[in-house]
Amino acid sequence: MAAPDLPRVLSGIQPTSSSFHLGNYIGALKQWVAMQEGHEVFYFLADLHALTMEPPDPKVLTERSRGAVAQLLAAGVDPERSAVFLQSHVPGHTQLSWIFECLTGYGEASRMTQFKEKMARGSGDRVSVGLLTYPVLQAADILIYQAHYVPVGEDQRQHVELTRDLAQRFNGRYGDTFVVPDAFITPESKKILDLQDPTAKMSKSLPDAGTLNLLDDPAALARKVKRAVTDAGSEIRFDPAGKPGVSNLLVILSAVTDTPIPALEADFDGQGYGALKNAVADAVVAFAEPLSKRVHELLADPAEIDRVLARGAERARPIAEATVRDVYDRVGFVPPADV
Ligand code: TRP
C-alpha cells in the first residue's frame, strides 16, 4: 500500500457498455495506470452514474460492471497498489452528494455543458433529475477522498471546475474541510476521434465502424482501421485542422506504441496512407489482443473480481465515512448518540 503522505489521486468511469474503446483508454485509463506510481490511488466504477441516462437492464449493468473491472485490471490497474471499487459499495458518495445538491444552484447545474448536450439528445421527459445532479454526485465522488488530482479526459474539465467551486463554497461557509482538487489532463490524453467522422470524438454512441473497442476481435479492429476516413493529399503529417483523419491515426499509433508523433512523421516520410493504416492496424491489434485475452481469463472467475472490489471498498469506506461524519458535524446535524 502507498504511503499516506503521497498525493492522492481519484478517478471514475461509467460502466456504460460491454467494452471500453480506445478513446477511453488513451484519454483516461492510460493515465490511471501511469499515476499508480508515486500516488495513493482510488479508482472506481461509477455505477450510480450509469443509471442517469436510460437505465440498463439490471443483468446487463451487473455484467458491464464486472466486465469494466476486468478491463481496468487487464489494462494495468493493479489492485495491490490501487483501491478499485464500485461507487455503489460506498454509501458515503450519495450521502455527501445530498449536501452538495443543497449548495448547488439549480441554474448552475442546468448550465453544465454535458447536461445541456444530453438534454438536447433525449426528449424532455426522459431527462431525469439524476442527469441534472450528475456533476454534483461527481463532486462528492472526488471530494469525499480529499483527492489532490483527478485524471480525466478533456470533456470532464467543467465537472472538475464545479467540484472545485463546491469545495471552496463548503470550506468558505463551514471552515476548511475539503482539499480543492486539480483536474489532471495530460497532453497525451488527446482526444481520439471517430474513424469514420474525424470531426467527432470516438464514442460508443456513434456507429460501430468508427469505434475501436478494446474487446473487438483482431479482424474487426484491422478492418475498422483500414476503412478509416483519411484526408485529401497523400502526405503523412500531424495537422489536426487540415488533416484530421491522418492526425487521429498518428495520435492512436503514438499512444499505443509510446512513440512521439514527430518520430512517427519521420518514419512515414515518403510513404502513403496505406502504410500508415497497416502500421496502426498492427499496433492496435498487438495492444488489444492480449488485453482482451486477459479480460476473458479474469471474467472466467467473477468471484475473484468481486473479491478485488470488496478489498477496494474496504480501503475506500473508512475514508469516506470519516469525511461524511466531519461534514454532518459541520453542517449541524445532531450526532447520533451511542446507546
Ligand atoms: N463523469 C465521468 C465520465 O463520464 C465519470 C466520473 C464519475 C468521474 N465520477 C467521477 C470521473 C469522479 C472522475 C472523478 O467520464
pLDDT at 5: 85
Residue 46: CB within 6 Å of ligand 1? yes
Which residue's CA is minimally distant from atom 2 of ligand 1?
13
pLDDT at 200: 92
Residue 327: CB within 6 Å of ligand 1? no
Rounded to whole angstroms, how far apart are CA atoms 71 and 123?
33
Rounded to whole angstroms, how far apart are CA atoms 308 and 74?
13
What angle do helix axes 129-143 and 92-101 make, rounded to 10 degrees? 110
Residue 14: CB within 6 Å of ligand 1? yes
Rounded to whole angstroms, how far apart are CA atoms 31 and 156?
14
Which residue's CA is minimally distant from atom 13 of ligand 1?
11
CB 195 within 8 A of CB 210: yes
pLDDT at 125: 64
Q: Which atom of ligand 1 is nearest to the CA of 151?
A: 13
Strands laid side by side in the 40-45 sheet? 82-86, 40-45, 8-13, 149-151, 182-184
pLDDT, one tens digit per residue, over 193-250 is 999 999 999 998 899 999 999 999 999 999 999 999 999 999 999 999 999 999 999 9
CB 38 within 8 A of CB 6: yes
C-alpha cell at 111: 448550465
Residue 93: CB within 6 Å of ligand 1? no
In the block, residue with C-alpha cell 443509471:
51
Q: pLDDT in tens for each of the 339 residues of the chain? A: 445 689 999 999 999 999 999 999 998 899 999 999 999 999 999 999 999 988 899 999 999 999 999 999 999 999 999 999 999 999 999 999 999 999 999 999 999 999 998 888 766 667 899 999 999 999 999 999 999 999 998 889 999 999 999 999 999 999 999 999 999 997 766 689 999 999 999 998 899 999 999 999 999 999 999 999 999 999 999 999 999 999 999 999 999 999 999 999 999 999 999 999 999 999 999 999 999 999 999 999 999 999 999 999 999 999 999 999 999 999 999 999 998
pLDDT, one tens digit per residue, over 234-245 is 999 999 999 999
Torsion of CA 41, 139, 204, 273, to 10 degrees: -60
Q: Which atom of ligand 1 is nearest to the CA of 28?
A: 15
Mutate to test the pocket of ligand 1, among 72, 156, 166, 203 (most ligand atoms within 8 A of CB): 156
CB 276 within 8 A of CB 246: yes
Mutate to test the pocket of ligand 1, among 24, 152, 158, 204 (most ligand atoms within 8 A of CB): 152
In the block, residue with C-alpha cell 481519484:
10
Residue 138: CB within 6 Å of ligand 1? yes
Residues marked active site are found at 118, 201, 204
Contacts of 147 (CB under 8 A, 6+ apart): 8, 9, 10, 42, 179, 181
Question: Half-sphere exposure of residue 132, counting CA atoms within 13 Å on the CB side?
Answer: 15
Question: DSSP states of 13-36 as a string?
Answer: E---SSS-BHHHIIIIIHHHHHTT
pLDDT at 190: 67
